[in-house]
Amino acid sequence: MAISNTEIGGLNEKNVPCIIGCTTKSKTDLAITWSDNLPTNISIKKSLAGQAYLIKTSRFIAGYEAHYNTSISTEVKEGLLLFFGEHSKTRDILAQYPSDNEQEQNYQKRKSRLTWNTLSKYKNSVANEMLSWISGNIGNIADFCFSKGLAKNSDAWADYLWCKNRLGEHEVDELFCIKDISQLCSEKSNLVIIGNRGGGTTIRLPFGFVQWHQGQMQFHHCYNDIRGLFI
């Protein structure tokens, strides 16, 4: 089948309607229209690992609930907001539950967020509910990060993830169906675990990891992790 038309994002990227109001950026970098007028949208990753999505926790929660027609529990929301640094009581909790590790405590104060250790000491049920929710919904989370983002309409969602890198021994050129990535992430939800550095500051995911960055949730992709899902 022949290509009828292509459009690219990057410098030419336009805002699209946002599912929680106003506008947002599309996850699509390359939009192909075939000769039969059917579209294929592609998200391009030019590095073997890096940022897949950066979003404030409150917007992630609102966008997730809107996309998947669900309501995230109060405990899970509290855990997400405390762990990723967007909760009004963080300072008070740090004063009440100080870490025995001075470096960890200083890090939490500086970033205004809780590590897994401190979150578990504060409310173990909240910590466990948050991790359990991420594990149980990791397929949708992958779909959210790679395909939908906050874009309201399906014509702005990405269908495929194209990992393309031409740097010597790291050269890759592979296309992955995002629906397959999401399904495989659901099947391998046991790979969702807390990172072991700094008292637990990251969460390992089947497609990479998520961490705090500038007061937001920073989802990272890893080509080797994504490729490993299909093996």
- Section 32-51 average pLDDT: 85
Q: Output phi, psi for 76, to 5 deg.
A: -65, -45
Place of tokens 């104060």: 109
Task: Give the model's confidence band at 31: pLDDT under 50 very low, under 70 low, under 90 confident, else very high.
Answer: confident
pLDDT for res 82: 98
Q: Dig out the tokens for 138 from the structure.
A: 């990791």
| Cα gap 139→147, rounded to integer Å | 11
pLDDT for res 40: 92
pLDDT for res 7: 67
- Section 96-108 average pLDDT: 97
How many CB atoms neighbour CB 54 within 10 A? 12
Domain that holds residue 174: 3-229
Closest CA to 83 of 222, 203, 204, 219: 203
pLDDT for res 170: 74
Q: Dig out the tokens for 179 from the structure.
A: 């629906």
Quote the number of domains for the chain: 1
Specify the range with the lowest mean pLDDT, choosing from 2-6, 77-81, 173-177. Answer: 2-6
- Section 198-205 average pLDDT: 97
b/e map of 67-101 (b: 16 or more CB within 10 Å)?
A: beeeebeebbbbbbbbbbbbbeebeebbeebebee
* Dihedral angle over CA of 12, 15, 16, 21, nearest 10: 170
Question: 20, 59 in Cβ contact below 8 A?
Answer: yes
pLDDT for res 12: 63
Is the confidence at residue 5, as pLDDT, over 90? no
| Cα gap 174→154, rounded to integer Å | 23
pLDDT for res 169: 67
Is the confidence at residue 35, as pLDDT, over 70? no
